[in-house]
Chains A and B, each alone.
Chain A
């Protein structure tokens, strides 16, 4: 495979992976206050995502692939809120183990990685255009 085309494909897989990460982050942020539907039940559990290199045998390059979305098994913080429908007998509610600040940092990192991959795509496209430009009469 043409190296420039391969570079374009790799950057494309990077864009895909980072958009998946952003999806997980948005799920966590949106559900950062989601409590259980039943009294004393578990609230929304934070989701995590990890990435792995994946060999594309046809092109002979390492693409990036998002691994399966996992769960964060850390403790749920407890709040005293007797009016909540998810409160247990003593009036305590389990809140999701989502730290919005952590999610924000993760989102920023996903954003930066996405931008870096976009830059690669742009660069490759410019190089290919310039190479084709060679054939044009000046």
Chain B
């Protein structure tokens, strides 16, 4: 059940070149081999990085309004947070559609 998703994730180079996510994927594979519920761990990690980046973007935006941070830093932080959020949403959509697919399976 996890294998096709993991395989798809490994097929996208930008996911595997990121060391943190690559290690997360490897840990998924080893944990999947052990039979633990590790896909949830990966999701939790993605969520944590997203929240971290959103917090950074928020701090940068406040700094920008107060005049402490330049517009370039603010734009960079907000764009990075936006990307993380997009990734999180896309992964969530994929997970939900996978569960729906399973629920529709004929028994």
Residue positions of A touching B, CB distance < 8 A? 2-4, 8, 12, 15-16, 19, 125, 128-129, 131-137
Q: Are B18 and A2 in contact (CB under 8 A)?
A: yes
| Bound-state Cα–Cα, A127 to B17, Å | 16
Q: Are B90 and A132 in contact (CB under 8 A)?
A: yes
Whole-angstrom distance between the Cβ of A85 and the nearest chain B Cβ = 35
B17 touches A12 (CB 8 A): no
Name A's interface SS.
helix
Minimum C-beta distance from A27 to chain B (A): 17
Contact string, B96-107, partner A, CB cutoff 8 A, digits 1/0?
010000000000
Interface size class of B (residues with CB under 8 A): 10 to 19
Which residue on chain A has the smallest CB distance to residue B73? A12
Question: B interface, by DSSP: helix, strand, loop or mixed?
Answer: helix
Across the interface, B86 reaches (CB within 8 A) one of A3, A12, A129, namely A129
Q: What are 6 A-B residue pairs whose CB atoms fall within 8 Å in the complex?
A: A2-B14, A129-B83, A132-B90, A133-B90, A135-B94, A136-B90
Bound-complex Cα distance A38 to B20 (A): 62
Chain B contacts of A4 at CB under 8 A?
Answer: 14
Decide if B72 touches A19 in the complex (CB within 8 Å). yes
